[in-house]
Structure 1
Amino acid sequence: MASPDKKKPRIENSVPRGDLKLPYPLHHSLYDQLQTLSSDYSKSAPFQHGHIPNSFLEEGVLENVRNEIIQNVKANFKESDLFRVYQSIDLGNLPPVSNDDTDSAAFSDEMLSLASKMPTLMSLKAALFSQEFRFFVEKLCGISPGSLTNEVDCAANCHDTGCHLLCHDDVIGTRKVSFILYLTDPEWTDSDGGMLELYESSEGEKPAAGEKNEIACGAVPAPIPVKTIPPTFNSFVWFVVKPGESFHSVQQVFGNKPRLSLQGWFHSDSIPEHSQNATLQRLKSSEKGEDTEGNYVPFKEKVGAYDIDNIVDSKDVLSESDRLLLSSFINDTYLTDDSIKTIRAQFEEDSSVQLRHFINDNVANIIYSSASLLDNKDNLGNGKSSAEYGAGINNQWHIAGPAHKQRFLEYRGTDVSSDSCGAALNNVHLNLFQSAAFARYLQLLTSLDEAQGHRGRVRRFRPGLDYTVAHYGILTKTPVLDATLCFVAGKGNQCLHDDETGEIVGSDEDALWSSGDVGGFECYIEADEESQEADAEYDAEDDTELLSVSPSNNTLSLVYRDPGTMRFIKYLSSFAPSSRWDISVEYDVTCENH
């Protein structure tokens, strides 16, 4: 948090612990509840946490705090693969409540003026930052007296409609206890979303004997939360942050009321034990056990290497049997020599290309119609707030995790003949994408070298539920060609933009996907190879975006990805018009010119 003091001195405990009184405006009954609250905390699951439902501050105080923030403070929109949020005032930037001029000398006139307009918030800050409250928190958590220093972070955050925060454990630096005070609309209901979600964890994969870092990779969260806590007005939540244990997230806000909260951390003198297992450290690790993609599989027949630059006719690469196979799936337009040359020229220029209406109607119509039926059956998309984590899960569609890296449904059935969406997609995956004929076709489209193997899966990203996160475990040692065939609601047409404003023209489903407002797009970003440190990246916006590919119905995206590039599928909003169904395959290639 930004603060005029780079290093905050530790204040010795000077308040008698036997006669602890909490400062106003903290509710007068809190200390009387200490034994019950601490007992409930010690027995809570899936990890130890505490919850004061609706009486954290004295009556009437929080209404004033809420109004002061809304009337005086601006919020800045921030978004990454992990979150979508409006960040507001950092209480550390406001001067302390004091008559001592020396205390306020380091603060700007702007901050002094702002503080004068929010007297109730300043009173609350003084109480939250007080020694008395820190002692109280230590007792609540059952941690050693004096564990918490006078370093406190606290800021106002607003999760408006569509905002969210994905699964993480809050472990950064010397953070010790996380806390949240909710200032939501008093009429907030479960259908408005914004729940605090808590996750069970289990031990991660352990590398084989003799391998580097021969320790367990640490606990990982389950794919779905096991407990939710509503953001009730004047309620308070707290927990000790623990690497690989205190996994939590903020559910998307479905309603049109802002989820306003004060969130912060009490710090200790030192970083927590096993900090190498913290979420941010794990996302920046490429050690064994952190990969989520699996091994490459060789083709069943030799693909062959061709000097594409000297190929005049595609018949020199594709046999009659190759063409017969390809034409049973692919739109004939993309199999002509002229189209192949045009696509190759664009790919050589941009290292990426999107091919719309790629699959022929016979196959695509089966996929699209069955996908629409399943979304309706599961009550997903178009702003429906009744999303259930179990939606769509069955003996063929399995949920993929862990939640701090990804959540989506993966098709693991074997059927390729029925008219179900999964079987139809699986048919394209197994019989087209994994074929040597398709690999040869990709050589013609890209001029890349012979693919050595492939790995991939059929996925479904459900509105209001699913995503992937950029992490170092997906970095490759050699270049890859990403081939992703996407199916979503819409016609799959290229959207037009206004020449003057640059805004997307139209309001149909294609335009909504292209806007990026409902997520589901695939984003490529550059990995920071220079720094392996886990800074406060939940607040950072320094990722270098290289490419963003909007979801588009029946569109094949081809992207050349070098070893220093990560990718993610942005969280799919409940306001998306459908699930994102795709076949995502990586081909292990080498290349000289891209």
Structure 2
Amino acid sequence: MSKRTNESESGKPHGSKKLNTTFTKEDINGFFNQKIWDENFQNEMTKEIAASQPYRWGTIRELMDDTLLRNVRSEVLSEIAFTKKETDIYKVFQSGDLANLSGLDWDDLSRLPSLFKLRAAIYSEEFRDVVSKITGCGKLSGVKTDMSINTYTKGCHLLTHDDVIGSRRVSFILYLPDPDRTWKAQYGGGLRLFPAIVPNVPETDFHSKLVPQFNQIAFFTVQPGLSFHDVEEVRVDKQRLSIQGWFHIPQPGEPGFVPGEQEETESRSTLQQLQSKELQEYDFPKPFRTDIPVEELKLYETEFSTLTSDEVEYLKHFLNPIFLQPSNIQQLNKIFMEENVVEINEILNDDYAESLRSLIRETELNTAAPQTSKLIQHPWKCAIPPHKQRFMYIDGKTPFEGTEKGIKFVNQIGPQEAPSFGLLKSENGADNKLIELASFLRSVVFKKWLKLLTSLIVTSDQVLVRRFRPGHDFILATTTEKSLARGDEELNVLLEATLNLTPTAINPKNWESGEFGGYELCMALQGKNGEDGEDFEEDDDPAVYRANDPNDDSVLYTSQCKWNSLTLILRDPSVLKFVKYVSINAKGSRWDISAQWNVKDGGAVDEDDLADGEDSKTEDIED
């Protein structure tokens, strides 16, 4: 945590002398702005919090003594080292935990006296009693402390979550940006609060946003399934410094301790996780694949090793002809059989690709991306809920209202539709071109081409056109269902395709660093996975990886945003996959078409038969 080492100039460890850590009630009172102790102020705050929306929360400006907090900020910037941490749910620079500050040696404490005073003040009985009163949350622990220092710089963010872990009762964030400058709304970094459609399912658009200022605290009661919030991405080269943490329920021996309360709280959290499958009716788009009709399936089950001239002619309307040549198909099949993944660059033919790129760029340049879910228009929809995913998509089905009533209707009452891209119409040329391409991925001959490439027979499919907008969209780490095989013949895997169609990626420098997100990443599932994020403890992350760390062998595959590139991958239930949040500073949206297929073994491709077909130079393949 500290920038300096714990040694004297002689190289020997300092002695164990401790700083006087005893503060009187008068000391504690003096660390705060005196309005905090005024009964009228407390009563007014109690009323405001009781009436707050979307759940119980509050904020206090000028919480601490100004001189003390300025000294804290100076100590933090000069003495604390920050480590960059990044997963699917956040990017942030964080200090070590400050809970054991009193256990540091004299050298550390002598350099952090104001920070120590602040921690003592925050967890003092006097201030805990104020928090208890104005939030109505009940007694708070003084022995279980839990806080750290974060700095959000340009590109840092924290996506939607509810902070529900263990014995947490109240979350708080004390802001320390530059005290002599106003932090403006356009800088980003706001705390955004989300209402719930039903408990455990947040709406995709936030209800309230707090633009943080120096010496301002925000706090809210940790309410399972309700206290959803995020931290808006910081857009500028400025430090949004903050001290954040939690108050916990009383521990044994403390006033307000209730035997069994912590166990009950933890079991409720676990129960909610176990019940999460019941809430999947609120997930859209759903991971539902449509069965291939029996008569169509017979076409793929029939042995074939080449495509007819009519089939090739149809494929050429979309695909680069080089990937229809038998010897190149053979080479791609060999790569896929060995690696379970193959990436094919320049997959679309030149004319089709150029037409599509021009239309998408025209859309991006001339039409503002919808900033809320309510502004998204048919044929597009918004993926929900935002503690799992948010992006725009076209699935070949009619729109619905994203409310409890609307979701119940589409799930349980209204017609159950099969995807039908051919019936979708749009006034936007890019939309129509993307819909045409999605329909092509569902064609008979494309699935036959897939069999030649993968030696797999597809038995069901789902195709989605997707757009990930800068400053909005992502998919958090998820696995597939554990049981994918629906019969003895099917394999317990999915064949997945991503057709990358991001026009700005024609210049790789726009995306290749990964700093703007938008990349798709697959990693091996490891250990326990929680759903928190704001404490950034690695054991609690939905997916823990070290961005740009070549030694992280849990990462199986990463693909930056690209133009005109198809990735085919065979994925089993032990593999997590996510699309990283796209930064507000990205050059444009991430565009792609995503497909999933259940599969069964189609047998090895007959290399002799392939060799009898049209010949070509395999080095021409962009794989």
Give yes or no for contact 2:379–2:426 (8 Å, CA) kept in 1: no
Tell whether 2:137 aligns with 1:143. Answer: yes
Give the drift of 1:545: 2.1
1:289 to 260, 264, 280: 280
Tell whether 2:115 aligns with 1:121. Answer: yes
CA distance in 2, matches of 1:272, 1:219: 20
Indicate how the Cα distance of structure 1 residues 392 and 344 shifts in structure 2: closer, same or farther if over 3 A, else same: farther
Letter of the 1:158 counterpart: T
Equivalent residue for 2:432?
Answer: 423
Equivalent residue for 2:53?
Answer: 45
Moved more, 84-93 or 570-579: 84-93
Equivalent residue for 1:176?
Answer: 169
Q: Say which SS state the counterpart of residue 347 (structure 1) adopts.
A: helix
Letter of the 1:236 counterpart: I
Give the drift of 1:591: 4.8
Indicate how the Cα distance of structure 1 residues 535 and 249 shifts in structure 2: closer, same or farther if over 3 A, else same: closer
Letter of the 2:508 counterpart: D
Indicate how the Cα distance of structure 1 residues 402 and 69 shifts in structure 2: closer, same or farther if over 3 A, else same: same
1:397 to 380, 383, 408: 380
CA distance in 2, matches of 1:180, 1:367: 46
Structure 1: gaps of 5 or more residues: 2-14, 96-103, 204-217, 381-386, 493-508
Give the drift of 1:306: 6.6
Tell whether 2:390 aligns with 1:407. Answer: yes
Q: How many residues align?
A: 520
Q: Say which SS state the counterpart of residue 568 (structure 1) adopts.
A: strand
Give the drift of 1:391: 9.2
Letter of the 2:107 counterpart: S
Kindly indicate which of the two structures has a greater share of residues assigned to helix. 2
Give yes or no for contact 1:26–1:57 (8 Å, CA) kept in 2: yes
CA distance in 2, matches of 1:189, 1:261: 16
Deviation readout 1:545-570 (Å, 9 max, x if unpaired): 22111110111111110122221110
CA distance in 1, matches of 2:479, 2:505: 35
Give yes or no for contact 1:474–1:566 (8 Å, CA) kept in 2: no
Letter of the 2:160 counterpart: C
Deviation readout 1:482-528 (Å, 9 max, x if unpaired): 11111113464xxxxxxxxxxxxxxxx31332221111111112234
1:471-490 correspondence to structure 2 within 5 Å:
471-472=478-479, 477=484, 478-490=492-504
Q: Say which SS state the counterpart of residue 118 (structure 2) adopts.
A: helix
Moved more, 39-48 or 542-551: 542-551
Equivalent residue for 2:246?
Answer: 265
Give yes or no for contact 2:156–2:234 (8 Å, CA) kept in 1: yes
CA distance in 2, matches of 1:230, 1:165: 15
Indicate how the Cα distance of structure 1 residues 474 and 416 shifts in structure 2: closer, same or farther if over 3 A, else same: farther
CA distance in 2, matches of 1:286, 1:227: 29
Letter of the 2:377 counterpart: N
Give the drift of 1:273: 6.5
Tell whether 2:195 aligns with 1:200. Answer: yes
Give the drift of 1:148: 3.6
CA distance in 2, matches of 1:220, 1:520: 24
Q: Say which SS state the counterpart of residue 590 (structure 1) adopts.
A: strand
Deviation readout 1:236-295 (Å, 9 max, x if unpaired): 101110111000000100011011100000011434977677599649955672765332
CA distance in 2, matches of 1:263, 1:567: 29
Letter of the 1:480 counterpart: L
Deviation readout 1:34-86 (Å, 9 max, x if unpaired): 1111110010001110011x311122332221111011111001111100011
Letter of the 1:393 counterpart: I
Tell whether 2:452 aligns with 1:444. Answer: yes
Structure 2: gaps of 5 or more residues: 2-22, 251-260, 397-422, 485-491, 546-553, 605-623
Equivalent residue for 2:32?
Answer: 26
Give yes or no for contact 2:479–2:577 (8 Å, CA) kept in 1: no
2:220 to 234, 239, 259: 239
Equivalent residue for 1:364?
Answer: 353
Give yes or no for contact 2:495–2:570 (8 Å, CA) kept in 1: yes
CA distance in 2, matches of 1:81, 1:279: 22
CA distance in 2, matches of 1:71, 1:133: 28
Deviation readout 1:302-333 (Å, 9 max, x if unpaired): 2447799x96xx42xx3334323211111111
Letter of the 1:548 counterpart: T
1:450-529 correspondence to structure 2 within 5 Å:
450-472=457-479, 477=484, 478-490=492-504, 492=506, 509-528=507-526
Indicate how the Cα distance of structure 1 residues 303 and 276 shifts in structure 2: closer, same or farther if over 3 A, else same: farther
Give yes or no for contact 1:363–1:424 (8 Å, CA) kept in 2: no
Equivalent residue for 1:505?
Answer: none
Moved more, 407-416 or 482-491: 407-416
Moved more, 461-470 or 324-333: 324-333
Indicate how the Cα distance of structure 1 residues 447 and 592 shifts in structure 2: closer, same or farther if over 3 A, else same: closer
Give the drift of 1:377: 3.4
Give yes or no for contact 1:466–1:571 (8 Å, CA) kept in 2: yes
Q: Say which SS state the counterpart of residue 29 (structure 1) adopts.
A: helix
Give yes or no for contact 2:152–2:241 (8 Å, CA) kept in 1: yes
Letter of the 1:488 counterpart: T
Give the drift of 1:130: 0.8
Indicate how the Cα distance of structure 1 residues 476 and 331 shifts in structure 2: closer, same or farther if over 3 A, else same: farther
Letter of the 2:424 counterpart: D
Indicate how the Cα distance of structure 1 residues 411 and 260 shifts in structure 2: closer, same or farther if over 3 A, else same: same
Give yes or no for contact 1:169–1:278 (8 Å, CA) kept in 2: no
CA distance in 1, matches of 2:567, 2:287: 21
Equivalent residue for 1:250?
Answer: 231
Give the drift of 1:412: 5.4
Tell whether 2:342 aligns with 1:353. Answer: yes
Letter of the 2:34 counterpart: H
Give yes or no for contact 2:442–2:463 (8 Å, CA) kept in 1: no
TM-score by length of 2: 0.77
Q: Say which SS state the counterpart of residue 445 (structure 2) adopts.
A: helix
Q: Say which SS state the counterpart of residue 600 (structure 2) adopts.
A: coil
Indicate how the Cα distance of structure 1 residues 179 and 244 shifts in structure 2: closer, same or farther if over 3 A, else same: same
Equivalent residue for 2:153?
Answer: 160
Give yes or no for contact 2:161–2:532 (8 Å, CA) kept in 1: no
Indicate how the Cα distance of structure 1 residues 38 and 418 shifts in structure 2: closer, same or farther if over 3 A, else same: closer
Give the drift of 1:470: 1.3
CA distance in 2, matches of 1:84, 1:274: 29
Letter of the 1:523 counterpart: L
Deviation readout 1:328-357 (Å, 9 max, x if unpaired): 111111111122112112112221111112
CA distance in 1, matches of 2:300, 2:395: 34
Tell whether 2:94 aligns with 1:87. Answer: yes
Equivalent residue for 1:5?
Answer: none
Equivalent residue for 1:210?
Answer: none
Indicate how the Cα distance of structure 1 residues 281 and 593 shifts in structure 2: closer, same or farther if over 3 A, else same: farther
CA distance in 1, matches of 2:136, 2:320: 65
Tell whether 2:55 aligns with 1:64. Answer: no
Equivalent residue for 2:202?
Answer: 221
Moved more, 561-570 or 412-421: 412-421
Give yes or no for contact 2:72–2:114 (8 Å, CA) kept in 1: yes
Give yes or no for contact 1:366–1:419 (8 Å, CA) kept in 2: no
CA distance in 1, matches of 2:470, 2:276: 29
Equivalent residue for 1:214?
Answer: none
Give yes or no for contact 2:467–2:590 (8 Å, CA) kept in 1: yes
Deviation readout 1:411-459 (Å, 9 max, x if unpaired): 25743686622221111112x11112111111111122x1111013111
CA distance in 2, matches of 1:549, 1:476: 26
Indicate how the Cα distance of structure 1 residues 147 and 539 shifts in structure 2: closer, same or farther if over 3 A, else same: closer
Letter of the 2:190 counterpart: M
Give yes or no for contact 2:204–2:373 (8 Å, CA) kept in 1: no
Q: Say which SS state the counterpart of residue 514 (structure 1) adopts.
A: coil
CA distance in 2, matches of 1:377, 1:50: 40
CA distance in 2, matches of 1:272, 1:517: 41
Letter of the 2:101 counterpart: L
Letter of the 1:34 counterpart: Q
CA distance in 1, matches of 2:336, 2:459: 20
